[in-house]
Structure 1
Amino acid sequence: MTPEQLKSSILQYAIQGKLVEQRPEEGTGEELYQQIQTNLDAISEVQTKKKNKILPIEEKDVPFDIPETWRWVRLGTIGYTNIGLTYSPKDQTMDGVIVLRSSNIQNGKMVYEDIVKVNMEIPDNKMCQIGDILICARNGSKRLVGKSAIVDKAGMSFGAFMAIFRSVCNQYIIHVINSAYFRNSLLGDTGTTTINQITQDMLKNSLIPLPPLAEQKRIVAKIEELLPLVDRYAVAYEKLEQFNTKFPEDMKKSILQYAIQGKLVEQRPEEGTGEELYWQIQTEKQRLVKEGKIKKEKPLPEIAEEEVPFDIPESWKWVRLSQLAILENGDRSSKYPVESDYVDFGIPFFGAKDMNGSAMSLENVRYISEKKFSELGNGKLKNKDFICLLRGSVGKCAAFIADEKHRTGFICAQMVIVRCIDKAICDYMQKFLMSPFYSQYIESKVTGTAVRQLPAKELGNVLVPLPPLAEQTRIVAKLEELLPLCERLK
């Protein structure tokens, strides 16, 4: 139950006579009603006898049962209501009488920061008294119509879009006005679609349950005892909501972190080691260099002990990303595609907007012709290549998955291709690139403030915990079993 629902339930219990017990010695709502009628002229200054017709209460009008000691009444029969003062900009002055408006009602309280003053003759029935209920009677937003508060200062008027109510126990009445029942009955139809409003006729004919005066005071006391507890509940509820919102993503991050630390599946000696896999990849890399398919790189420095961020199993090996993959920038020459090179269908020309989840999206991709593609140098994609952003959402990665219509593609200038030398490690690498460790490392290397950037060299220096290939397969299988469960928690 939300805090608003809890508050609504408390108010509903209150106006149904279920919040406090009834006491015979306190009299009845009927007796109170008759007393009010006797003193009506004094309460209302004869204003309730003018203009608006008060309808009789029929059995079909009664929305719910109330205690036998209570009575259903129309609001206009137990107090004084009126619509506020009309004034023009020329009446406004630095000195004069404060005119209260809807902006002065905030969270059920009167605030006096944003005030308007007028210098004009104001009738007595447009002036507030301490204890009056001020109601927003007209507003462009239906949500704000009906908001109310008790006036706690004297000597102020109220504006034309406001209504005022004055009666015997306004503290009880305002809780009725704030109840879901009252709001729904009053604002089910509030006039036009652009300006929502409460008319005097609507207000005066609103049905409210009237308990004896002593019981009204006990109801108010009980509500005022409970509402601070609701406020405390709201704080706890908000924290719980934040936790529930974050929990699926936090759980996902924890699982991925466990995976790359070797804690998600057991190690099996018969599956070999990360060291053996690493040298197999280096052998393949040397072959590609020898055949001229990739350029020879400068030897990378050894990974120092202080660089290692966490412990991994003995059968694993710490390596750098550029030892497992080729990093290739796009073609940034004068041949780089411009808008006039775009065609209806051809070779996908990927930008940051096409990074949707773990795979590149073709839904709104731009295309260039095969002729234009042939003019370009670097930046041409192969199946299972990763594309990484170097600007903006730095480090964000997605895989290019080829199909019959899209065998290749081209990357924009703010991207880099990460091409695994051994395609067999791609599935594990994709999970690694989703891990919190990878994100934190990238974040620590970002440069620039107006435009966030990541040097491709820093991407290549990312440390990767490398398990044996068979264990990688089991890790990926376990992640594909667990991660969808995290999504279902959202």
Structure 2
Amino acid sequence: MTKHLHIDTQAMRAKILDLAIQGKLTDQRAEDGNAQDLLKDIQAEKEKLIKEQQIKKEKPLPEIEADEIPFEIPKNWMWARWGTLSISIKYGYNTSAQKDGKIKMVRISDIQNNQVNWDSVPFCNIPKEEITQYLLRKNDILFARTGGTVGKSYLVSEVPENVVYAGYLIRTRYSEKLSPQYLKYFMESDLYWSQLKKGTTTTAQPNCNAKTLGKMVLPLPPLAEQKRIADKVATLFAQLDAIDKAYEEYRELQQTMKAKLLDLAVQGKLTDQREEDGNARDLLKEIQAEKEKLIKEKQIKKEKPLPEITEEEKTFDIPENWMWVRLGEMILNHIGGGTPDKSNEAYWNGDIPWMSVKDVHQDSMYADRTIDSITPAGLENSSSNLIEANRLIVVMRMAVGRAVINKLPVAINQDLRALFFRDNVTQEYILRIFKILKFETSGMTVKGIKLWVLLNTPIPLPPLAEQKRIVAKLDELLPLCNVPGVYSKEK
């Protein structure tokens, strides 16, 4: 039996940080000295800066209580508060971003993946006499104090020009007797985030102030060991980054292989063509005869004839017993949907599964459940339609072109369209084609596909028997492209 490898790189990063700040990732050395002497040096430095009036004297922070200490640390380490180690903790300057101005201003949104794209940082207008106190220096740490990113931190690794920081950020500056990277790693640890959560208030949005940050406790090693810890963590993280990169490259290879198989399949190169299959022209005649019958019986409406397929639209050669057809020629009928009134509780949480875009996943062939459900009243009092099981449902807005076959009756919303085929068309074959189709979309904010674009889409149509062989062959080959095991990483 093949064993599957479970690699959760994000969990491994969290464990590495936990071990690091407990002193279990590095050795303790007598020549490092101890953290008590280090703290005395930092306090002496702060006293000197206070006398020189470069920083203000602050109220003493409370002693660290026993119940604040979450784990044991090495003997030459000590527990300290963030505010004790900081030379200053200062809020940013409150002003709006400008295209032009006196100086650039870093905002929370400019910090992505622990990096700042300095070229895109906006300007601001700030009085000249106030600039100095808000200037960023290398090794400052910025802290997001509000909103959805509260607690996110950024170690300033470079300052290419004079830059200030915005009001929703807090700048912490500390002694050169501390390792900036060690402090940054602490601000990524579970210990940091657990303390932040306790100190965060929630009103309209989460908020954490400088007082909470200053009271945080952290394990303090001697400087030499701080540097060893930072180096060790960086080395291990680099190895995990390499795993992430290799996985992403493999994922890309997977997708390339899958796309190639699908390309070969719809060109008739994955299966053999057999004389006994007949040809797709007879199949199309049967579909057209069925549509005429349904029109006469007034079960469906007659639609405008679709244009002939041009040679330019035939993007590759297909076998002689296949033919190029427009999707609309193959469809007997198509139905849209709608959404019941969200404010009416009587329409929701009923027994009827209600499908929306979020229920149609890119890598899925079938849908056997939905997130939401509606009541018969919700169905009756909306433009939603109940679609019987085993119909091909296509996304028309947002995730345009995604498609699944529903395995249970569902009501659909307005962003979806159900397609109905005759039984001489294998829906799984059409579904495979949707995986590689590129649609012309429209819309400024929300992309969508117009119905006529969908119906006019040219596709290669094999005889029914070969459609089934193609699906069977893809079902056999596509799983071989999948990554074995389970993989997880931070997004």
User: Same fold, TM exceeding 0.5?
Assistant: yes
SS of the residue 2:277 aligns to: strand
Distance 1:435 1:203 in 2: 58
SS of the residue 1:57 aligns to: coil
1:308, distance to aligned residue in structure 2 (A): 8.7
SS of the residue 1:121 aligns to: helix
> Is 2:172 aligned against 1:165?
yes
Closer/same/farther in 2, CA of residues 181 and 442 from structure 1, 3 Å limit: closer
Distance 2:247 2:56 in 1: 47
SS of the residue 2:464 aligns to: strand
Distance 1:436 1:176 in 2: 52
Q: Where does 1:52-63 land on structure 2 (aligned, <5 Å)? A: 52-63=59-70
Residue type at the aligned position of 2:73: I
Q: Where does 1:18-57 land on structure 2 (aligned, <5 Å)? A: 18-42=24-48, 50-57=57-64
Counterpart residue number, 1:300: none
Residue type at the aligned position of 1:317: E
CA-based RMSD of the aligned residues comes to 5.6
Residue type at the aligned position of 1:129: R
1:36, distance to aligned residue in structure 2 (A): 1.6
Counterpart residue number, 1:410: none
Counterpart residue number, 1:146: 152
Closer/same/farther in 2, CA of residues 350 and 43 from structure 1, 3 Å limit: farther
1:145, distance to aligned residue in structure 2 (A): 3.2
Q: Where does 1:30-109 land on structure 2 (aligned, <5 Å)? A: 30-42=36-48, 50-88=57-95, 94-109=100-115
Closer/same/farther in 2, CA of residues 320 and 133 from structure 1, 3 Å limit: same
Gaps of 5+ in 2: 1-6, 302-331, 338-353, 356-365, 369-374, 381-387, 410-416, 441-448, 487-491
Query: Which of 286, 301, 311 does residue 272 from structure 2 map onto?
Result: 311
SS of the residue 1:63 aligns to: coil
Deviation per CA, 1:145-190: give whole Å up to 9, x if none. Answer: 3322225227433332221222232222111112232122113341
Counterpart residue number, 2:241: 231
Contact 1:148 1:178 survives alignment (8 Å)? no
Closer/same/farther in 2, CA of residues 52 and 104 from structure 1, 3 Å limit: farther
1:211, distance to aligned residue in structure 2 (A): 0.4
Tell which structure's C-alpha radius of gyration is larger: 1
Question: Percent same amino acid among aligned pairs?
Answer: 20
My pick for the range that moved more, 23-32 or 190-199, is: 190-199
> Is 2:428 aligned against 1:434?
yes
Contact 1:329 1:416 survives alignment (8 Å)? no
Question: Could you state the TM-score of these two structures normalised by the residue count of structure 1?
Answer: 0.58
Counterpart residue number, 2:205: 195
Distance 1:220 1:397 in 2: 48
Residue type at the aligned position of 1:352: I
Question: Could you state the TM-score of these two structures normalised by the residue count of structure 2?
Answer: 0.58
> Is 2:176 aligned against 1:216?
no
Closer/same/farther in 2, CA of residues 366 and 227 from structure 1, 3 Å limit: closer
Closer/same/farther in 2, CA of residues 95 and 322 from structure 1, 3 Å limit: closer
Distance 1:321 1:102 in 2: 59
Counterpart residue number, 1:375: none
Distance 2:183 2:62 in 1: 20
Residue type at the aligned position of 1:465: A
1:66, distance to aligned residue in structure 2 (A): 1.3
Deviation per CA, 1:86-142: give whole Å up to 9, x if none. Answer: 4445x979453433332342222344222323233217543333322222222x21x
Deviation per CA, 1:399-455: give whole Å up to 9, x if none. Answer: 9999xxxxxxxxxx99675256xxxxxxxx7xx5424798499979x9xx9634568
Closer/same/farther in 2, CA of residues 182 and 400 from structure 1, 3 Å limit: closer
Distance 1:233 1:189 in 2: 35
Distance 1:234 1:193 in 2: 37
> Is 2:187 aligned against 1:177?
yes
Distance 1:199 1:398 in 2: 51
1:353, distance to aligned residue in structure 2 (A): 4.6
1:202, distance to aligned residue in structure 2 (A): 0.7
Distance 2:41 2:269 in 1: 84
Contact 1:47 1:80 survives alignment (8 Å)? no
